[in-house]
Chains A and B, each alone.
Chain A
């Protein structure tokens, strides 16, 4: 499964009020998770209109932090099936319409 940056910006009517980061699935340690969530939030807010740049930023930071082979997907609609190194997966939602998958493999 390649890390694909889905870029299409589909403008939906704003009926979603919840924009806080919501972790769907993760097997990371609690502190790491919190740290990464913060990073993701920063990246997605910094590049709110450019998912690719956001993903790149997150990936670079993660490589620096936890060692290189990290993959990051930021997008609105996609499916994925990945194999990852245990305790290195984070699947979260943010901003009401973005899904972010981060894994190491």
Chain B
């Protein structure tokens, strides 16, 4: 900057300062107020006049700061020499241009280098227009730049190529001038081309730098994933292949369904807990399985031996029909066949007998006692088969005498028994005979008296098995087989019809009657009959727990058995220790038939093959068979089966298929008896109605018979002529 300029600036600043001082004066005053200004000690105290005095200051071009008389040691001169004063100029900005004046030495050199004669160039330029120098100056620039670029690249051919271009350009630019120039330039070129062109670098403003980093060596690294697992598969599709596959699959499905159904049924019949516990034993179980197979072999062998031993009996059982029956009118005989005993229960009385509902040759025998003054230590329920009279197939020993048994009609391996001590037990003989699958709790839920009869009831809607039991404590209980316990419900408690008895401390006690037998109605699931030790028969319904539907004053002594007729379920028979057998019709107070057998009747049963045949056993060891169709007053067969003095017969049971009965005595012996042909005469169809089947005929036969004996209640009974006791 020139000194004049700086002066101007400062003046401006002064002006500005004055201006601003007037502006800020007020503020300053305000600020100063109340403030003690500290003054430096050296400050002069000036009077107002002095303060108001104007002191002029002049700006000059001289820099008072500038050092003068600078010297430098000169080695050549061997002394100090003074240096000229440094100028007042200060370089603020400098830019080096690339253009040069054409008159300068450098431009001249360049022109020579390019092969242009500077003199001619000057000439032409002078002759050209005023704008020429400007154009020239512009023109040179690309030239030099191009050169620099080529220099950087150091590539000759391009450099050379660029030159002709420029040469071309030049004439163009000067095109408006004379063509002479062009002609003159041409010859100048060859010498230039021949000689190696010198590099024209600006040695002060040129720098070339390059750096090359290391190239890292390449390395290849690769990984490979495991290919997805492959497999091959092949098949042939033909119509028959498809058809066969469907057939096979369908069969398998059917089989599966069948198995499923079977499994469900098996689940319904609960297998005892003991089977579950057995599973854990492993080897023991295996050996048990082996033992079981060996046992099977022995059983077969045993049966073969028995068949040989009892060959004649087996033949009798199968073929022998008493030929004398043809000549004996209206009378028949019983042929004794096998006798079944079991050594351990020889002292027991047979308290109940029942054929298995599924296997016609199998029957259950209960071993208990009726002589209550001489109780036996243990009881048993044994299952005998006709094929093996020497030994029972299944033996279930119990701690107390077994008084009654019933086998489930659908699950023939589920056997329920009632005990002398009031307990009930359920055996799953298929699983094990050693322990019961279910047992009533002998402390909390058992009968408080002898269980006289147990009967399976139809399964509950959700498939649970249940049964009824009657006992001398007057309770009729319904037991349901839960998962692992017996649930008990007392559905009825029987009371005497008499008024309550005053107790010792003023309370009134209603005496209970003792149930001695029960029979479920075969068709109506709610209805059942209960016989008592007082000789009454109550017709009850499970729907009512407080009252009976009907009461028959049937007997004078305990009722031993009630049995429904197999053909007409309105008809039932009862027997009692008062020597009598009575046949009843539903809702009729008086019996239709009464038979006096002259001794305690232990059991009476309707025959399964005839509507009018029934059999009874008495304590004196006789079996009575009646056929009402043949003789309404007398039995058609009386046969002593055991010796009168030593043995008493207790129970009897008809085989549901075969013409045989079994009777049990008080010495633990079961006798099989075959009914002679006269005792099992089938119905002959009337000539008009040949097409009727046996069932209808049997029903008709009974109805016809009943119509003879049914009498209006108002009628007086005629004098009994036959000698039997008609009440």
Could you tell me which residues of chain B, from 204 to 245, have a CB within 8 Å of some CB in chain A?
A: 228-239, 241-243, 245
A2 to chain B, nearest CB (A): 14
Bound-complex Cα distance A81 to B232 (A): 7
Q: Is A66 interfacial (CB 8 A cutoff)?
A: no
Query: Given A76-B239, A77-B238, A82 and B245 touching (CB < 8 A)?
Result: no
The answer to whether A78 and B233 touch across the interface, beta carbons within 8 angstroms, is no
The answer to whether A86 and B231 touch across the interface, beta carbons within 8 angstroms, is yes
Q: Is B695 interfacial (CB 8 A cutoff)?
A: no
B230 contacts which chain A residues (CB < 8 A)?
83-86, 105
The answer to whether B246 and A99 touch across the interface, beta carbons within 8 angstroms, is no
B356 to chain A, nearest CB (A): 42
The answer to whether A18 and B237 touch across the interface, beta carbons within 8 angstroms, is no
The answer to whether A24 and B239 touch across the interface, beta carbons within 8 angstroms, is no
A16 to chain B, nearest CB (A): 6
- Most A CB within 10 A of own CB, among B231, B232, B238, B247: B231
Q: Is A97 interfacial (CB 8 A cutoff)?
A: yes
Q: Is B725 interfacial (CB 8 A cutoff)?
A: no
Query: Given A83-B230, A85-B228, A85-B229, A24 and B246 touching (CB < 8 A)?
Result: no
B245 contacts which chain A residues (CB < 8 A)?
22, 24, 93
- Most B CB within 10 A of own CB, among A18, A75, A96, A98: A18
Q: Is B320 interfacial (CB 8 A cutoff)?
A: no
A91 contacts which chain B residues (CB < 8 A)?
233, 235
Bound-complex Cα distance A27 to B231 (A): 11
Chain A minimum-CB-distance residue to B242: A93
A103 contacts which chain B residues (CB < 8 A)?
233
Q: Is A46 interfacial (CB 8 A cutoff)?
A: no
Chain B minimum-CB-distance residue to A19: B246
Consensus secondary structure, chain B interface: mixed
Bound-complex Cα distance A22 to B233 (A): 18
Bound-complex Cα distance A24 to B244 (A): 12
B229 to chain A, nearest CB (A): 4
B250 contacts which chain A residues (CB < 8 A)?
18
- Most B CB within 10 A of own CB, among A12, A25, A80, A105: A80
Q: Is B249 interfacial (CB 8 A cutoff)?
A: yes
Bound-complex Cα distance A81 to B229 (A): 17
The answer to whether B238 and A82 touch across the interface, beta carbons within 8 angstroms, is no
The answer to whether B235 and A83 touch across the interface, beta carbons within 8 angstroms, is no
Residue from B232, B235, B246 within 8 A of A18 (CB atoms)? B246
The answer to whether B249 and A22 touch across the interface, beta carbons within 8 angstroms, is yes
Residue from B229, B242, B243 within 8 A of A86 (CB atoms)? B229
The answer to whether B234 and A12 touch across the interface, beta carbons within 8 angstroms, is no
Consensus secondary structure, chain A interface: strand
Query: Given A16-B243, A18-B246, A93-B246, A24 and B235 touching (CB < 8 A)?
Result: yes
A3 to chain B, nearest CB (A): 14
A89 contacts which chain B residues (CB < 8 A)?
231, 233
Chain B minimum-CB-distance residue to A22: B249
B233 contacts which chain A residues (CB < 8 A)?
25, 81-84, 89, 91, 103
Could you tell me which residues of chain B, from 674 to 712, have a CB within 8 Å of some CB in chain A?
A: none
Bound-complex Cα distance A75 to B230 (A): 24
A16 contacts which chain B residues (CB < 8 A)?
242-243, 246
Bound-complex Cα distance A15 to B228 (A): 43
The answer to whether A99 and B232 touch across the interface, beta carbons within 8 angstroms, is no
The answer to whether B232 and A84 touch across the interface, beta carbons within 8 angstroms, is yes
The answer to whether B242 and A96 touch across the interface, beta carbons within 8 angstroms, is yes
B236 to chain A, nearest CB (A): 4
Could you tell me which residues of chain A, from 44 to 68, have a CB within 8 Å of some CB in chain B?
A: none
A24 contacts which chain B residues (CB < 8 A)?
235, 245
The answer to whether B246 and A78 touch across the interface, beta carbons within 8 angstroms, is no
The answer to whether B242 and A97 touch across the interface, beta carbons within 8 angstroms, is yes
B241 contacts which chain A residues (CB < 8 A)?
99
Could you tell me which residues of chain B, from 246 to 298, have a CB within 8 Å of some CB in chain A?
A: 246-247, 249-250
Bound-complex Cα distance A89 to B230 (A): 11
The answer to whether A75 and B237 touch across the interface, beta carbons within 8 angstroms, is yes
B374 to chain A, nearest CB (A): 69
A93 contacts which chain B residues (CB < 8 A)?
242, 245-246
Bound-complex Cα distance A77 to B241 (A): 10
The answer to whether A80 and B242 touch across the interface, beta carbons within 8 angstroms, is no
Bound-complex Cα distance A84 to B234 (A): 11
The answer to whether A79 and B246 touch across the interface, beta carbons within 8 angstroms, is no
Bound-complex Cα distance A80 to B238 (A): 12
Residue from B231, B234, B249 within 8 A of A79 (CB atoms)? B234
Residue from A18, A77, A81, A86 within 8 A of B239 (CB atoms)? A77
A100 to chain B, nearest CB (A): 9
B242 contacts which chain A residues (CB < 8 A)?
16, 93, 96-99
Chain A minimum-CB-distance residue to B238: A77
Could you tell me which residues of chain A, from 6 to 58, have a CB within 8 Å of some CB in chain B?
A: 10, 12, 16, 18, 22, 24-25, 27
B279 to chain A, nearest CB (A): 29
The answer to whether B234 and A80 touch across the interface, beta carbons within 8 angstroms, is yes
A22 contacts which chain B residues (CB < 8 A)?
245-246, 249
Bound-complex Cα distance A15 to B497 (A): 74
The answer to whether A78 and B237 touch across the interface, beta carbons within 8 angstroms, is yes
A88 to chain B, nearest CB (A): 9
B107 to chain A, nearest CB (A): 75
B258 to chain A, nearest CB (A): 18
Residues of A within 8 A of B (CB): 10, 12, 16, 18, 22, 24-25, 27, 75-86, 89, 91, 93, 96-99, 101, 103, 105
Q: 5 nearest interchain CB pairs?
A: A81-B234, A99-B237, A18-B246, A86-B229, A79-B236
Residues of B within 8 A of A (CB): 228-239, 241-243, 245-247, 249-250
29 residue pairs A–B, Cβ–Cβ below 8 Å: A10-B239, A12-B239, A16-B243, A22-B245, A24-B235, A25-B233, A77-B237, A77-B238, A77-B239, A78-B236, A79-B234, A79-B235, A79-B236, A80-B234, A80-B235, A80-B236, A80-B237, A81-B232, A81-B233, A82-B233, A84-B233, A85-B229, A85-B230, A91-B235, A93-B246, A97-B239, A98-B242, A99-B241, A99-B242
- Other 17 A-B pairs with CB < 8 A, given A75-B237, A76-B239, A103-B233: A16-B243, A18-B246, A18-B247, A18-B250, A22-B246, A25-B233, A25-B235, A78-B236, A79-B235, A82-B232, A86-B228, A86-B229, A89-B231, A91-B233, A96-B242, A99-B237, A99-B242
